[in-house]
Chains A and B, each alone.
Chain A
């Protein structure tokens, strides 16, 4: 998984019908010190994340490994809200 910060919501009235009912968030990748990187991803929220949350994003075909996203055109899902990062000295 990759780490990122939720920087915003995304709404799309006209979208693939299979996406209806899914909450879409804009996530900007960060490093371990929460410094923002230049890359973004639009991710389905599966855990109740909100703007400002540091999150873990599952990408690729693994993003369909949940009841919420099975069989849907989704390749990025917020799979966890990060409480703490511990990096060894």
Chain B
């Protein structure tokens, strides 16, 4: 899974029918220091994340597993909202 910041959402009336009713979130992938890394990702949201929240998301074929309707044309799905992380800087 990867970490990302929810920066917005996307509306697509004409889309894969299996994605109907799912929120499409815009994510900026971030690293452990919350710094942006890589390209913007559009992700289906199966847990109701809000804008600005730090989340983690599953990609590739597994992205469809959390969804009620399968199969579905998604390659990224938000599966958790991060409350906190503890990453000791000295690596212990």
Contact = CB atoms under 8 A, between A and B. Distances in A.
Interface of A: 1-3, 31-32, 46-49, 56, 58-63, 65-67, 70, 77, 79-88
The prevalent SS among residues of B at the interface is mixed
Given A31-B40, A60-B60, A80 B75 contact: no
Interface of B: 7-16, 18-19, 24, 26, 39-43, 51-52, 59-61, 63-64, 70-76
Contact of A77 (B7, B42, B73): B73
Nearest to A37: B39
B12 A60 contact: no
Contacts of A63: 73, 75
The residue among B15, B40, B51, B60 with the most chain A CB atoms within 10 A of its own CB is B15
A13 B73 CA distance: 26
